[in-house]
Amino acid sequence: QVQLQESGPGLVKPSETLSLTCTVSGYSISSYYWGWIRQPPGKGLEWIGSIHHSGSTYYNPSLKSRVTISVDTSKNQFSLKVNSVTAADTAVYYCARFYLDRGVITTWGQGTLVTVSS
Amino acid sequence: QTVVTQEPSFSVSPGGTVILTCGLSSGSVSPSYYPSWYQQTPGQAPRTLIYTTSTRSSGVPDRFSGSILGNKAALTITGAQADDESDYYCVLYMSSGIWVFGGGTKLTVL
């Protein structure tokens, strides 16, 4: 049974870089796409981006200039970096598995709250 | 920019039927957008309900069904139960690697 677990700092200062890692267990990261979704407090879900083990990436056009997603197949992990964060980046960040051939997000992590504040 | 539209809120009586919809700000939703639906209760991660328009995810009760109605995707809940009270999100996959979420519908069962 595939499981995803987010990890990383819960507090980031404005203008700095938000960094999160998702560790995948029970399944090899060398299949499917993997990526990130966020949810600001009290608001809806927003797709951030997705990556394949080959390194192929897709990003939300509205965030593309500030976001980098990378993959480490040796650790069965993938990571998110968001540069130049502001309070608007405060959100619960979910990592997830994406099945593009079916257009479905099959599996979600439990989510981690990241607060941007000085 | 693609905008996916959902009703902000909806109410249904216990045992009743409700249809939540998912549209596009311009154009029609078709199966080629692989509409999928997700249920989220407060403080929890979303749960996958429906994908490729009408396929139920494993373990999802058959009172949840998906379809295309007119120019929108639809999630129908038949025989609503108290624990169906949740936020429901529609997602369209644009087949260019881009995923777009709707704003979500807050469903109240009362």
The C-alpha atoms of residue A114 and residue B100 are separated, in whole angstroms, by 22
User: Could you report the per-residue pLDDT of A15-29, keeping only the tens digit for each?
Assistant: 999 999 999 999 999
CB contact under 8 A, B97 and A50: yes
Got the DSSP string for A49-117?
Answer: EEEETTS-EEE-TTTTTTEEEEEETTTTEEEEEE-S--GGG-EEEEEEEEEGGGTEEEEE---EEEEE-
User: Could you report the per-residue pLDDT of A34-92, keeping only the tens digit for each?
Assistant: 999 999 999 999 999 999 989 899 999 999 999 999 999 999 999 999 999 999 999 99
Note whether A110 contacts B: Cβ–Cβ < 8 A: yes
**A41 exposed, middle or buried (CB, 10 Å; 0-12, 13-18, 19+)?**
exposed
Contact residues, chain A, for B98 at CB < 8 Å: 47, 58, 60-61
